[in-house]
Amino acid sequence: MTRLFNDPAAFADEALEGFAAAHRRWVRPVTGGVVRAGGTPEGQVAVVVGGGSGHYPAFSGLVGRGLAHGAAVGNVFASPSAAQIRSVARAAHGGAGVLLMYGNYAGDVLHFGQAAERLTADGVETLTYAVTDDVASARPEEADKRRGTAGDLPVFKAAAAAAERGLPLQEVRNVAAHAGARTRSFGIAFSGCTLPGADHPLFTVPASRMAVGLGIHGEPGIGEAELPTADEAAELLVATLLKELPEDVATPAGQRAAVILNGLGSVKYEELFVVYRKVAALLEEAGVETVDPEVGELVTSFDMAGVSLTLTWLDDILEDLWRAPTDTPAYRKGALGEPEASAAPAAPAADTEDAAIPAASDASRQAAGTVLAALEAVAATVDTHVDELGRIDAVAGDGDHGIGMRRGSTAAREAARAARDLGAGAATVLAHAGDAWADKAGGTSGALWGTVLRAVGTALGDQEAPTAARVAEGVAEASAAVQRLGGAEVGDKTMVDVLVPFATALTEAVAAGDGLTAAWDRAATAAAGAAAATADLLPRKGRARPHAEKSLGTPDAGAHSLALITRAVHGVLLDHH
């Protein structure tokens, strides 16, 4: 378990601060992450990678010449927010555009996609690429649904080496896609990981057993097997990856491969070497030439006891890029000489855009008080149920839903209070709260809750007194926006299964003449029923999808938390009626 921390909520920020202080030769801190200390050479595409904390040396440890130009770093096992990614990308931009790269997780896809849209609007040409290397997370015919694990490294490196050689943005992105199509990973674990401040791991493995086909966020494996010997583990890893070759590779014989045997957190290097001796022998028997193999911790999962094997099937282009020199805090290859001298480290500069408080009417400022009370109730409700939400999420997911919701709701409450104290109206209070929720929670729920609060705020405005019709309009727009952004539909076992019936019931009750408090009561009752009904669904989205059968009989954590929140807000409306 993680023993050395202060406030668990501050762990990721403090870890990044310490990392930057220890590696000033390579990086400098900016809001949301780090960039190269010497900057991006003018006219070179900037490759900006990112994801949640808890995976070091991914992602911050891979920033330096020959690899990433910047890394956006989110909270523990949560994607960085769009604002954080945008901040890092703007700091890394060298004038030739930005390629955003990340693992294929719903939260990362949402936040990096939003960041790309904002950067494009800023005039920064931006493309994205999601790594999909984990063969356990989806069938070959659904490879686009696979998650990104230790295959991040060879794919990031190929794109970054292409950028170093001056290729334009689209060609750098094409190289990333080529490397991604030829990269496969598979992992096993012997124990789960424990997040800072938690008193139990996200999942457990029975004695003398191992989890097979797990992710890097504390997700349980897709199955279990007897605890293997080192040679048996190597045989499972190699056999699994040799079963699925790239489309243009008919047989492994005669092929070249970049090989990564990755430790997930607490497997010692000597153990990895014992396993790798057999991996190397098995690949040689299959006729595979290993090229610059890597054995060590490259993409971790806190203190998880486990290993993964990654193969990137090389052609002449990819082999050249894989062998290219690299100089970063955590990954070095070849010789690049001394890095550019850097100035004294700059303190991270906050993005002050949208910081001004627009003028608001007295009626809207009064409504802002009710909004703040509602957000205080939301944060209190989440705090009360945080363990329950984590337990529900751990059945088929990674168990961090409660933690993420607490981070987000707490940040939203504090941002709302600060905005209200500065005289903001209802819309501005909700906008600040939504941005804070997205920034601090990260992940899918952070992006979606940020969208919900902003949509409701837009409908309320800062000038008019809120009416039941305006609130219902805002909730309906929030429902539509969440579906557009996340791509989920009713029946996918997500928060959409509650948000849609809640919005529908609220709209219908207001149209029938109910006041806001009575209409919200009816809608909250519908939300509770819809949340309970998700227990009968199989997930078709998110991290729970690979473990769909395990979740049958358990409600969706996001749906359940939304239902709890709608009822808590009803209590505030009763008090402020």
Nearest one of 191, 156, 185 to 261, comparing CA atoms: 185
Q: CA-to-CA distance for 246 and 250, rounded, in angstroms? A: 8
CA 2 to chain CA centroid, Å, is 20
Q: Which residues pair with 310 in a beta bridge?
A: 185, 260
Q: How far apart are CA 198 and CA 189, in angstroms?
A: 20
Is residue 240 within 8 Å of residue 230, measured between CB atoms?
A: no
The residue from 111, 217, 401, 547 that is catalytic is: 217
Q: Has 217 been annotated as catalytic?
A: yes
Alpha-carbon distance values, 472 to 138, 494, 510 (Å): 39, 21, 7
Residues 6+ apart with CB under 8 A from 276: 234, 261, 293, 295
Find tokens 């040799």 and name the residue. Answer: 242
Burial class (CB in 10 A: 0-12, 13-18, 19+), 247: exposed
Q: How far apart are CA 329 and CA 394, in angstroms?
A: 33
Residue written as token pair 């000033």? 24
Q: What three-state secondary structure class fits 362? A: helix
Determine the distance from the C-alpha atom of residue 337 to the mean position of all C-alpha atoms in its chain, rounded to a whole number: 34
Residue type, 532: A
Strand partners, 36: 27
CA 339, CA 349: separation in Å to the nearest integer? Answer: 24
How far, in whole angstroms, is CA 288 from its chain's centroid? 34
Give me the active site residues, please: 217
